Amino acid sequence: MSNNGGLPAFPFSLEATDGRARVGRLETPHGAVTTPCFMPVGTKGTVKGMLPTDLERLGAQIILANTYHLALRPGSAVVRDLGGLHRFMGWEGPILTDSGGFQVFSLLDTADVQDEGVAFRSVYDGSRHLFTPERAIAEQQALGADFIMCFDECPPATRDRSLVERAVLRTTDWARRCREAHLGAGGQGAGGPQMLLGIVQGGTFADLRRRSAEALLEIDFPGYAVGGLSVGEDRESMLQSTKSTVDLLPWERIRYFMGIGDPIGIMDMIALGVDLFDCVLPTRVARMGTAFTKEGRLNLRNARFKADPDPLEDDCDCTACRSFSRGAIRHFVSQKEMLGAQLLTEHNLRHLFRLVDGAREAIRERRFGEYRRSVSAGW
């Protein structure tokens, strides 16, 4: 493990590139991650409907959990005392926790944001809490993920420039405090070293993005995330803002785009040189009856699938496609049987993992542009 001014930095090496797109290898204390990599989200400590062994079988390399939720239920100290987040989730591979910032700002209209931190009421019981940068780091240290995130202010990307500008300043200040707090603990969580990533904010304002990125680069993090996008702005603005941000980041460090999970968006991100991405989309739409396929989305609630004997996709090797007809899946979805959600979740994740596997292969063979076009053509 290398070292970033005292902060743990897990070894990251680039193995192949094709334009901005890159294949890398990230060595964590819980195993290696080959990038680009889609990270499934286990909000409350579980990717809904999936056993950890299912995730491993499907090809998941690293999964997420949400600090906001786990800090409130069952409590980060409880998770720590139960043996840490890996033991809690039954997942021996790498884990990343967000800082809670996004939830604090998106789940609650009542959040009171001050320079000190954010006061808010729990969605669980209405109790009052104050999340500061220091507390966000302490919670994440107690949880014990491999990757932890700076606490940031996340205004909607399309809000007034003045609000976004204030969020950038605050996020910069909080990033400094997060770094200090983590350094103060020797970069260690309850279960070992944790790599802390900075988050670039700035909405869709190019100059604010630049200001945020430059300030974070000066503070110096072993890796960087692009935050505050994919929250309602148009796709073109999102890509433009991501591009200008990523191009400011150091080539040799890991880049994480927060919140993208549709096949085209994932291809876009890979094309821009993003290494990690996550989203609840594939698992959430699965629970609503939607399957990802090469030809776009299938809504299995549709009556036309009632007697359809075909699998979701011909060449997919997931449990849904190997063992079930569309008609059967439609039945389980219609009847709200857990199996419907389980099968579609498994399928959507497997679909994305295969898609990203293909992207890595294409980058290695310097034909990523063509691969990306072929993926987009179906959607």
What is the rounded CA–CA span in Å between residue 143 and residue 190? 7
Per CB under 8 A, contacts with a copy of itself among 262-291 are none
CB 72 within 8 A of CB 124: yes
Q: Cα dihedral sign for 45, 51, 53, 59?
A: negative
- Which stretches does DSSP call E strand in 220-377? 223-226, 254-258, 276-278, 290-293, 296-299
By the 10 Å C-beta count (0-12 exposed, 13-18 middle, 19+ buried), 119 is classed as middle
Cα-based distances in Å from 186 to 66, 122, 173, 252, 304: 23, 30, 20, 23, 59
Question: Does the annotation count 125 as an active-site position?
Answer: no
Angle made by CA atoms 231, 268, 361, in degrees to the nearest 5: 140
Q: Is there binding between residue 51 and a copy of itself (CB under 8 A)?
A: yes
- The alpha carbon dihedral of 28, 43, 37, 220 has a sign of negative
Part in contact with a copy of itself (CB under 8 A); list of ranges 59-67, 172-180, 205-213, 326-334: 326-334
Interface pick for a copy of itself out of 34, 122, 325, 374 (rule CB under 8 A): 325
90: contact with a copy of itself by CB under 8 A: yes
Least Å from the CB of residue 144 to a copy of itself = 13
Instruction: Assess contact for 241 and 206: CB atoms under 8 A.
Output: yes
**Residue 258 or 286: which CB sits closer to a copy of itself?**
286
In this chain, which of 12, 37, 40, 54 binds a copy of itself, going by CB under 8 A? 54
Q: In sequence order, what are the residues at sequence separation of 6 or more whose Cβ sits closer than 8 angstroms to the Cβ of residue 221?
A: 4, 7, 150, 175, 179, 196, 197, 198, 253
**88, 221, 224, 371: residue in contact with a copy of itself (rule CB under 8 A):** 88
Q: How far is the CB of 7 from a copy of itself (least distance, A)?
A: 29
Query: Shortest gap between Cβ of 285 and a copy of itself (angstroms)?
Result: 16
**By CB under 8 A, what part of segment 141-180 binds a copy of itself?**
none
DSSP, collapsed to helix, strand or coil, labels residue 80 as helix
Taking CB under 8 A as the binding criterion, the range among 40-48, 179-187, 264-272, 360-368 that sits at the site for a copy of itself is: 40-48
User: In the complex with a copy of itself, which residue's Cβ is closer, 233 or 308?
Assistant: 308
Residue indicated by tokens 């990599």? 37
Nearer Cβ to a copy of itself, position 168 or 341? 341
Residue 87 contacts a copy of itself per CB under 8 A: yes
Nearer to a copy of itself, 81 or 214 (CB): 81
Residue among 146, 152, 262, 278 flagged as catalytic: 278
Cβ pair 19, 271 in contact under 8 A: yes
Pick the closer one to a copy of itself by CB: 297 or 331: 331
**Cβ distance to a copy of itself smaller for residue 133 or 311:** 311
Q: Is 278 a catalytic residue?
A: yes
Residue with tokens 């809904």: 48
309 is a contact residue toward a copy of itself (CB under 8 A): yes
Can you name the residues that pair with 33 across neighbouring β-strands?
Answer: 26
State the minimum distance, in angstroms, from the CB of residue 46 to a copy of itself.
4
Interface positions, 332-371, toward a copy of itself (CB under 8 A): 332, 334-335, 337-339, 341-343
Closest distance to a copy of itself from the beta carbon of 45 (Å)? 7
- Is residue 324 near a copy of itself by the rule CB under 8 A? yes
Q: Are 40 and 56 in contact (CB under 8 A)?
A: no
The DSSP annotation for 184-219 comes to: HTTTEETTEE-EEEEEE--TT-HHHHHHHHHHHHHH
Catalytic residues, by residue number, are 98, 278
The residues binding a copy of itself (CB under 8 A) are 44-46, 48-54, 73-74, 78, 81-83, 87-90, 306-309, 319, 323-325, 327-328, 330-332, 334-335, 337-339, 341-343
